[in-house]
Amino acid sequence: MDATTDIRTLQHFIAGQWVDADGGETFDVLNPLDDSLYARAAKGTGADMRAAVAAARAAFADYKETTPTQRERWLLRVAELMEEQQAELVDCLIDEIGSPIQKAMFEFSKGLTMVRAAAGMCRNVRGETIPSDAPGKFSMSIREPLGVVGVITPFNVPLIKTTRLVANALAVGNTVVHLPSEMAPHLTVLFAQIVADAGFPAGTYNVVTGFGHEIGDDLTGHKELDFLTFTGSTVVGQHINEICAKNKTPTTLELGGKSPTVVMADADLDKVMPLAARSIFMFGGQACIGSSRFYVERPIFEEFVKRFAMIAGKVGMGDLRDPDTVIAPIISDRQRQRVRDHIADAVAKGATIAAGGEWEGNRCQPTLLTGVSQDMTVCRTETFGPVTSIYPIDSYEEGLEKANDTEYGLSSAIFTKDIDRAFHFARNIGAGMCHINGPTIHDEAHVPFGGNGESGVGREGTDADLEAMTALKWVTVQL
Ligand code: NAD
């Protein structure tokens, strides 16, 4: 903490020590609500990243020998400490990334669940016995941790992503090097202190703060990296994928989305409307699984737009600590410009704004567009703001076809009373996740979470990460 300004300075956490950046440089972290200075953070260098990987590698030798009981105890202690420090974590989610308290509390409780679910993974790192054709040979597979796991996380759900991916990697016996978003380093720094206080040995969890475009390659391209899990934009994911492919480093990539919701005429709009609003306005639309495309059957189209516009006009945009507030500030100037450009481009090309479209400070009003066509950027590209397009459809088949007309494939939803159609949709949508009569925004610790195409590669969650972050080894004994 700088005593004269009350501004905290964040350091890296490497080999169990809090350290400044090599060369001592820092960068500013801004509160997105008003762009005031929130913190200064160590501006990581390639040397810092290499030191963190070396620390994780050195710690792995002993850490892989720890017992499930020991790792489980440490993880459950992390959950206890999180509960004790709930107020500080929630404050950080509000002031560092602009989460309304409703979203911050939701994220906190999800984060806790992620850590507790990870504790349950420790006892499940198992192989199997395999019948052998060779007489007298006893054959088995044993499952082993991979080694050093790189974790790269985005700004929008830093606690969910940090808890899930770090805890899952540690649960199965890996050590970790974490590069958090340059817009959310404090949250990760708080978590690192909790992990250390819970008793995890020095070097098992290392955090380097800084800019991904400057030091990301020093992690993703590191020869000592055994696995990388990345969550962020598709363009950065593509770059990382190329580097990891070259080194044959296995990855999971959780990327952007343009998730569709189909609403059939038989759906109960009283139930659908609040869920539709939640699926795009939560955290100001800064959710990878937000629904930025609605396909609504023509008989209910006008009613749907009318009701959606009414809700949009009432969504809370007040104090972030008011439980009724939903709309968050858009995280950065660059992102604000992107949201503005998407709306302006759509309007210039003939779309109609059915609600919103204006800004209050750094917050974009909940915005609904109709009359959107293929040539508009908002039609096919992720906006990452509280902006969605509503399209009329004349049949279920048209809804499915249009929902599938995308390079992305993250989440999806259908609202209907027809269970056959609903299941047909679930089986034929090209997304990694599908929710019948529920919003596209949903996540649980133990589900296979992830997308296809431009939305990513692989799945995360307790089972999926156990599989991805360990390897089977075949062992035989000649008796
Ligand atoms: P981003 O891609 O700008 O940054 C994500 C992370 O990548 C940050 O930590 C950043 O420092 C790092 N990074 C940047 N360049 C890098 C490089 N060359 N090498 C390595 N790391 C690098 O994304 P963002 O703006 O923080 O987050 C928003 C995006 O994340 C959206 O596209 C959203 O859809 C996506 N997202 C996806 C999921 C999912 O589970 N599929 C979840 C949350 C967010």
Q: Is 79 helix (H, G, I), strand (E, B) or coil?
A: helix
For ligand 1, say whether the CB of 172 is within 6 Å of any of its atoms: no
How close is the Cα of 231 to the center of ligand 1, in Å?
Answer: 5
Can you give the pLDDT at residue 2?
Answer: 59
* Distance in Å, CA 1 to ligand 1 centroid: 28
Collapsing DSSP states into helix, strand and coil, what is residue 211? coil
Ligand 1 pocket test, candidate residues 217, 236, 338, 460, most atoms within 8 A of CB = 236
Whole-prediction pTM: 0.97
Tell me the per-residue pLDDT of 146-183, one tens digit each, with 9 for 90 and over: 999 999 999 999 999 999 999 999 999 999 999 999 99
Q: Which two tokens stand for residue 322?
A: 């008011």
pLDDT digits (tens, 9 = 90+) for 184-209: 999 999 999 999 999 999 999 999 99
Q: What does the angle CA 103 – CA 109 – CA 115 come to, to the nearest 5 degrees?
A: 130
- Tell whether ligand 1 has an atom less than 6 A from the beta carbon of residue 254: yes
Burial class (CB in 10 A: 0-12, 13-18, 19+), 265: middle
Pocket test for ligand 1, best of 157, 163, 207, 231 (most atoms within 8 A of CB): 231
Instruction: Evaluate if residue 1 carries a pLDDT over 70.
Output: no
- pLDDT tens digits, 348-385: 999 999 999 999 999 999 999 999 999 999 999 999 99
Residue nearest to atom 18 of ligand 1 (CA): 213
Torsion of CA 292, 296, 300, 306, to 10 degrees: 20
pLDDT for 6: 81
Q: Average of pLDDT values for 82-97?
A: 98
Cβ contacts of residue 6 below 8 Å, gap of 6+?
none
The string of pLDDT tens digits covering residues 223-252 is 999 999 999 999 999 999 999 999 999 999
